[in-house]
Structure 1
Amino acid sequence: MQRIEKYNLKNKAQLLVSLLLVLFFSSCEDVVTLDLETGPPRIVVDAEIIWKKGTTGNEQIIKISKTAPYYNNTTPKVSGAQVKVQNSNGDVFTFNETEPGSYVCTNFVPVLNMNYVLSVQAEGQSFTAAEKLTSVTPIDKVEQNIIKDFGGKDTIELTFYYKDPADEENYYLTDYKSEFLIFPQYSLMYDQFFNGNVVNTKFSDEDMKAGNTVEITHRGISKNFYNYMNLILEASSANPFSVVPGNIRGNIVNTDTSDSNNFALGYFRLCEADKVSYLVK
């Protein structure tokens, strides 16, 4: 038995569209704008160092933005920040702003199982986070089959296989991207019940057809990041009108204040990854 959590953001989007259509056709004369409570803007640090197998991993990007009111159709970018990552050997890698809110390093050196510390200075505040670069075993093969969905309709299913390392605790995050997906689909796994065995992970979608290309990115992640993503994905796949009980805290720490409520959102993580592009037959 294996522990796998799968999250489909497409289903949530379809549900939202259906509900909005119902509301639209049932009250065509009135436009209702909900008066939603807006909290103070927070800095958001999207810092994924991802080392894809077969690459040097030298070029990495960190994005910094701010939260915005629900009805805003743009995300405020944070410019002018100072962004650095230092490894446990004392080597410092500087991320330079290439466009508003995007900070790029072209000489990063990824080393498996090495510890790294992120430092960000933005808008008069200082933030830090620490993580280890986590390894991943490669995808051995991808298979394609036809299965019946809940309505009895033939649906294409992809299955990829990899060998979980023995005698160690491993956590995985996989995303699937394709032209038929509005949003990526994710699956989270940990090897509590299949340590040291060959693992198979399945993916299917009613809109997948021959000629589509599905990009599978399979990451090794830390236990803490697994727990964080589990909360994020559970919240994103819940009732679209429900309220998340509270801000989901990442590992980004504000070092300039003793006020625990003045924190940044996001997570600094370092992942080795294997990526496969599969052409559906």
Structure 2
Amino acid sequence: MNRLKQYTIMNKALALLSLLFVFSFTSCEDVVNLDLDAGETKLVIDAEIIWKKGTTGNEQTIKISKTAPYYSTSTPKVSGAQVRVENSSGNVFTFNETEAGVYVCTDFVPVIGMEYKLFVQAEGQTFTASEKLTSVTPITKIEQALVPDFGGGEDVIEVTFYYNDPADQQNFYLTDYRSEFLIFPEYENTDDELYNGNEIKARYSHEDMMPGNTLDITHRGISKNFFNYMKLILDASNSNPFSVPPGNIRGNIVNTADSKNYAMGYFRLCEADVVSYLVK
């Protein structure tokens, strides 16, 4: 009788544990929205002047928005701002608003090595930033190979592009990859500390990359300061700058009247080589 009683107690205990186990799995399917405190709203100035090889570089775009709560599905656009860029020769390039938060200049003149200064007046505040236009060496060739998937899956396609690093200077590069199989671009930061003056090759692979896909490669020359800024972002977000880093990473855009009320973003000027590669 005692033995039967023990079995009954054990069976009830196992049943209870099984039930809790099932509940734990079903509860994982529920979406839990945490009640997060909203941080201070800040201006976001996306100011990349990018001179693509083979173009005049006369049309450039700067976007201005605001930070939004974590669960927000939209980004507040900032209209009515005054945006201009001046170069060290005194030339002024005005950016006019073409749609909410989008400011376009159609007569920009890019000059390698020249310093440019950004001026933004928005919502009663004035912001400035300075940077030089950095050159880039062109992509010389692109190769494709099938390589093992170290995760244990099927072999994956790997695309490799090459460029020659100048020997007489320290260089920094930022490359982004875009394709129909990517929701967001993927970025890679590179410097020439170990490869100065040599041919550099950059490899890219993705498990969803298939023959027939077009891989758009944008290879930029960037400044050392912007390289360090992007390194912080990519290290904090696992190479996806569109994810949320654990804290604010400040760029070079400052508020002229209140240093604490800075804008997010980085004013940078890059020459870039852009290649569209058809995956075989």
Q: Does the C-alpha gap of structure 1 residues 238 and 156 become closer, same or farther in structure 2, counting only changes over 3 Å? A: closer
- 2:13 maps to none
Measured in 2, the distance between the counterparts of 1:243 and 1:205 equals 22
Cα offsets for 1:173-204 (capped at 9, x unmatched): 00000001111111110000110000111000
The TM-score normalised by the length of structure 2 is 0.87
Measured in 2, the distance between the counterparts of 1:62 and 1:243 equals 22
Paired AA for residue 236 in structure 2? A
| Structure with larger RCO (C-alpha < 8 A, sep 6+) | 1
- 2:59 maps to 59
1:280 aligns with 2:250: no
Measured in 1, the distance between the counterparts of 2:31 and 2:96 equals 44
Number of aligned residue pairs: give it: 255
Aligned counterparts, 1:43-122, within 5 A: 43-122=43-122
- 2:214 maps to 213
The answer to whether the 8 A contact 2:163-2:199 is kept is yes
Cα offsets for 1:90-134 (capped at 9, x unmatched): 000000000000000000000000000000000000000000000
Q: Does the C-alpha gap of structure 1 residues 226 and 161 become closer, same or farther in structure 2, counting only changes over 3 Å? A: same
The answer to whether the 8 A contact 2:233-2:245 is kept is no
Offset at residue 243 of structure 1 (A)? 8.1
Measured in 1, the distance between the counterparts of 2:212 and 2:174 equals 26
Identical-residue share of aligned pairs (%): 71
Offset at residue 26 of structure 1 (A)? 2.5
- Runs of at least 5 residues in structure 2 that lack an aligned partner in the other structure: 1-22
- 1:176 maps to 177
Offset at residue 276 of structure 1 (A)? 0.4
1:271 aligns with 2:257: no
- 2:129 maps to 129
Measured in 1, the distance between the counterparts of 2:134 and 2:212 equals 34
Q: Does the C-alpha gap of structure 1 residues 256 and 169 become closer, same or farther in structure 2, counting only changes over 3 Å? A: same
Q: Does the C-alpha gap of structure 1 residues 222 and 94 become closer, same or farther in structure 2, counting only changes over 3 Å? A: same
Measured in 1, the distance between the counterparts of 2:168 and 2:278 equals 35
Cα offsets for 1:229-258 (capped at 9, x unmatched): 01111111189xx9845310000000022x
Measured in 1, the distance between the counterparts of 2:60 and 2:246 equals 33
Measured in 2, the distance between the counterparts of 1:238 and 1:55 equals 29
Paired AA for residue 182 in structure 2? L
Measured in 1, the distance between the counterparts of 2:239 and 2:271 equals 29
Offset at residue 31 of structure 1 (A)? 5.0
Q: Runs ≥4 in structure 1, deviation > 4 angstroms?
A: 28-31, 242-245
- 2:158 maps to 157
Measured in 2, the distance between the counterparts of 1:31 and 1:217 equals 37
Paired AA for residue 41 in structure 2? P
Q: Does the C-alpha gap of structure 1 residues 238 and 163 become closer, same or farther in structure 2, counting only changes over 3 Å? A: closer
Offset at residue 153 of structure 1 (A)? 1.9
Moved more, 271-280 or 260-269: 260-269
Alignment partner of 2:163: what SS?
strand
- 2:203 maps to 202
The TM-score normalised by the length of structure 1 is 0.87
Alignment partner of 1:225: what SS?
helix
Measured in 1, the distance between the counterparts of 2:156 and 2:33 equals 39
Paired AA for residue 80 in structure 1? G
Alignment partner of 2:272: what SS?
strand
The answer to whether the 8 A contact 2:126-2:257 is kept is yes
The answer to whether the 8 A contact 2:115-2:132 is kept is yes
- Runs of at least 5 residues in structure 1 that lack an aligned partner in the other structure: 1-22
Paired AA for residue 194 in structure 1? Y
Cα offsets for 1:47-87 (capped at 9, x unmatched): 00000000000000000000011111000000000000000
Measured in 1, the distance between the counterparts of 2:267 and 2:50 equals 11
Measured in 2, the distance between the counterparts of 1:86 and 1:221 equals 19
